[in-house]
Structure 1
Amino acid sequence: MTKALIVVDVQRDFCEGGSLAVAGGNAVAANVREYVLNGGSGGALYVVATRDYHVDPGAHFGEWPVHCRVGTEGAEFHPAVADLPFDAEFRKGEHAAAYSGFEGVDAAGSGLSLEAWLRERGVIEVDVCGLATDFCVAATAKDAERLGFTTRVLVELSAAVNQG
């Protein structure tokens, strides 16, 4: 069985000190790093990342503080994960709100969506972790399941906006 780990939006703006900080974001970044580097990626053959990547997302910035604007430090991956050996990165939300990693496109310029990229590699199972559990992690996991991937959310490697 071919498996992938999807690391969702572990970016500076979503960690403590960022414009849309999630409590525990720095710890999530450190724990994801440890998990990936110590081979704890649950048998995942591929490790991919998603990135909120806003140019002008319209009304989205009316709903949320300005965050992850292209070209800003806040849009960068948290330093703990920035140098991880991701097999691919998927950017989402340039000109509209985008919560699910499946709304993104391959940052390498292939034009592939996350779904197409995973299917090309025979992935049938995904683990999802990152920020924030109740928004982008949830949307990514729901889309993965809807698209037929066996899906598991790694809550110990995630944090939520709304702690309840």
Structure 2
Amino acid sequence: MSRTLFIIDVQNDFTEGGALGVEGGAAVAAGITEYLAEHGEAYDLVVASRDWHHADDDNGGHFATDAAPDFVTTWPKHCMAGTPGAEYHPALDTSRVDVHIRKGQGVPAYSIFEGTDDAGASIGEVLTQHGITDVDVVGIATDYCVRASALDALEHGQHVRVLRDLVAGVAPESSEAALAELGHAGAAIVESGALPTAGAGAPEDGDGEAGTAGDRA
């Protein structure tokens, strides 16, 4: 078994005060840092994704330009390459990140599987190269990019856990629905505090019961 942690889009524009800030985003950033300090050695690879959109076009219709955003398929400008909003939240310790994925470079993109690393490799190629069999998912937003990334990881053949206290969503109802969908699709929905620290032995994936979102979902 080889395990990776996906840290999805913990960026300034997706946390409080950002262009598309979600409630609890900053707490998730800090919580992931605390989690990695205790559990980092449990992972063979840590991967972080960021939206990295063009500033000078609508990114394939992803940015609303001619009408108000519908917040479903069109959005206000956010996470534009090279801007402070696209940077990782300062509470997230990126020193433990092994692979950085950029997605949405000119096109709509939600899943980490739609991005590439600095060498142009897809996350699927990275997982295969490292022999990854298990993926834990944390980050923002539960009901959009976390959902899409976890579903694609399942489709890729990974055993997936979503750490529900380390995700934050756009809305409580859609976040609960996303976690329920992921549970039905085969992901384990677990609390990070229920996981042993590195060296203590990992629980079986089925030990985490699927349920509704926590306070930060």
TM-score, normalisation: structure 2: 0.72
Q: Which moved more, 1:53-62 or 1:88-97?
A: 53-62
Aligned partner of residue 95 in structure 2, secondary structure: coil
Distance 2:113 2:7 in 1: 12
Select the structure with the greater relative contact order (CA < 8 A; seq sep ≥ 6).
1
Aligned to 1:61: 63
**Runs of at least 4 residues of structure 1 off by over 6 A?**
none
Backbone CA RMSD of aligned residues: 1.2
5+ residue gaps, structure 2: 65-73, 174-217
Distance 1:93 1:84 in 2: 24
**Structure 2 counterpart of 1:131, from 135, 140, 149:** 140
Aligned to 1:28: 28
The Cα of 1:43 is off from its aligned counterpart by: 2.1
- Report if aligned partners of 1:33, 1:84 keep a CA contact under 8 Å in 2: no
Aligned to 1:146: 155
5+ residue gaps, structure 1: none
Aligned partner of residue 96 in structure 2, secondary structure: coil
Aligned residues: 161
Q: From the CA coordinates, give the structure whose radius of gyration is larger.
A: 2
Residues 11-160 of structure 1 aligned to structure 2 (within 5 Å) = 11-38=11-38, 40-41=39-40, 43-55=42-54, 56=57, 57-62=59-64, 63-107=74-118, 110-160=119-169
- Structure number with the higher strand fraction is 1
Cα-to-partner distance string for 1:67-89 (whole Å, 9 max, x where unaligned): 00011100000001153320100
Cα-to-partner distance string for 1:92-112 (whole Å, 9 max, x where unaligned): 0011110000001002xx221
Letter in 1 for 2:137: V
TM-score, normalisation: structure 1: 0.94
